[in-house]
Amino acid sequence: MRKLKLQVQTTVDGFMAGPQGEMDWLTFPWTDDLSDHINALTKSVDRIVLGRKLAEGFIPAWASRPEGEDEESIDWMNDTPKTVISNSLTESPWENATVAGGDLTEIIEGLKAEPGGDLIVYGGGTLVSSLIAAGLVDELHLFVNPTSIGAGMPVFPADAYHRFRVAGTRTFDCGILALHYEPVRA
């Protein structure tokens, strides 16, 4: 069965965005050791899962072939099929993306049961919290930036208790710390 990997950029105080969705705290530029780590993480992935709000910026941003990104990453982001989780969209306005609405657990379990490689989720915030709360994440990859912002959109839902096992840690030359966790399931 396919794994659902969650990759999230976070602050040291646990936020994935500022109070208004700000992402100006992200550490750039990434160093080669971090890029290599991300490439290894996504090697087994053949589908990206996104929330609608993130998809609205993410998909067009990569389609524009952003300056400063390497061609291999741009091609991978554009060529990898995407599933956009949304209960407000009925069809995809984007190339190489489908829309899935309804029960989140049924959608994710259905995607996991399909043949193929792993799935990776980049967000957004509502989707990330819902996936964690529902216990649907198989691997959690937190990329902790050396910044605190005091308030914002938390990675973890406030009302959910989950235990995780440390599967790995790594520090990168740019100052980001990667924390790889797997859920402890009963």
Q: What is the pTM of this model?
A: 0.94
Q: What is the DSSP letter of 30?
A: P
pLDDT at 157: 87
Using one digit for the tens of pLDDT, what is the confidence trace for 120-162? Answer: 999 788 899 999 999 999 999 999 999 999 999 999 988 878 8
Using one digit for the tens of pLDDT, what is the confidence trace for 49-105? Answer: 999 999 999 999 999 999 988 899 999 999 999 999 999 998 999 999 999 999 999
Pairing of strands 15-17, 153-154: antiparallel
Within 7-147, residue ranges assigned H as helices are 32-42, 52-63, 71-79, 104-113, 125-133
pLDDT at 158: 85
Task: For residues 13-33, give the mean pLDDT.
Answer: 93
Q: Which domains does the chain have, with CATH numbers?
A: 4-160 (3.40.430.10)
